[in-house]
Amino acid sequence: MALHLETPLIESLPLSLASGRSVWLKMDALQPPGSFKIRGVGAACEHHARIGKRRFVSSSGGNAGMAVAYAGRRLSIPVSVYVPETTTERAKALIRQEGAEVIVHGAGWDEANARALASVDADTAFIHPFDDPLLWAGHATVIDEVVKAGLAFDAVLLSVGGGGLLSGVAEGLKRNGLRDIPIITAETEGTASFAASVKAGRLVELPAISGVATSLGARKVSDRAFEIGQSHPVECVVVSDRAAIEACTRFLDDHRVAVEPACGAALAVAYAHADQLQRFERVLIIVCGGATTTVAQLQAWQAT
């Protein structure tokens, strides 16, 4: 049995009314570890368990770390997650709650990732948070499920961080004969490395990440994500932190599910930038989730 769940696919009347078109939600915020990440991470962990790996190591202060910790607990394989100093206490607590070891190292993800890689030995599998074909194949199941449900859609809207979900959705569209369906990508102003790369026609590395959507905080997207930006019909939208937070709050009221600002970036396109969806009739939004955001935190962000 796969480690991820087949999540609900629902029509959103509030988002449909806000955007003036039919909006459907793939509710991956309801995955056990709180985000879509378990699709790809679970597939990768199961693969490595089958070939005899006896320990998992990852580098993530957020959703990927939680997904690896969850997969390790389910597979009875020990997990070490390397996180940067910026990782919240809540994120660390959620990873430890799954029984994983948390090692804090470095000012940013790059430094934590380097230390994680240095700890890998012959018995250990390194589970990358976003840049691995095993992950993309697992994430592609989100499209498989929508197609199996019989929903016809003419655009997919999703948030982009390092590009793992984007790569998986593109693979899912391709393997279901839907490679011409456009993907609309959402990022916040302080994290928009993918939009910058698409605009420049080359991989762009941001000098720094800023703002509240830290889960989108890859200074440079994966090579595969950049390739998709060049070869697949992709449209980039960049939203403000405020729009992402307001989208999270509205979504909590509308659908009674709390998501993080990284996910709110995609929702903000439908709530506040509907002009970007004007030429589409039925839009599928991947509600990617995020377990670290609390109602109190959303309120605090709104206040500031």
**Given a cut of 80, is residue 220 above it in pLDDT?**
yes
Mean pLDDT of 35-60: 97
| Alpha carbon distance 59, 80 (integer Å) | 9
Cross-strand bridge partners of residue 80: 57, 101
Q: Are strands 22-26 and 9-11 parallel, antiparallel or unpaired?
A: antiparallel
Tokens (6 digits) for 61: 């202060």
- Hey, what's the torsion of the CAs at 36, 40, 41, 42, to 10 degrees? 100
How large is the average pLDDT for residues 210-230?
A: 87
**pLDDT by residue (tens digit) across 118-147?**
999 999 999 999 999 999 999 999 999 999
8 A C-beta contact, residue 270 and residue 277: yes
In the structure, what pLDDT confidence band is assigned to residue 21 with cuts at 50, 70 and 90? very high
Mean pLDDT for the stretch of residues 35-50: 98
pLDDT score of 275 more than 80: yes
pLDDT value, residue 269: 98
Q: 114-118, 273-277, 293-297: which range is least confident on average?
A: 293-297
Q: What is the mean pLDDT of the chain?
A: 95
Residues of the chain with pLDDT > 90, as a percent, come to: 84
- The pTM of this model reads 0.96
Torsions phi, psi for 101 (to 5 deg): -85, 135
Pairwise CA distance, residues 181 & 179, whole Å: 6
Q: Tell me the domains of the chain and their CATH numbers.
A: 9-36+134-303 (3.40.50.1100), 37-131 (3.40.50.1100)
Going by pLDDT thresholds of 50, 70 and 90, the confidence category of residue 302 is: confident
Q: Quick one: which of 112, 111, 165 has its CA closest to 140?
A: 165
pLDDT in tens, 72-93: 999 999 999 999 888 889 999 9
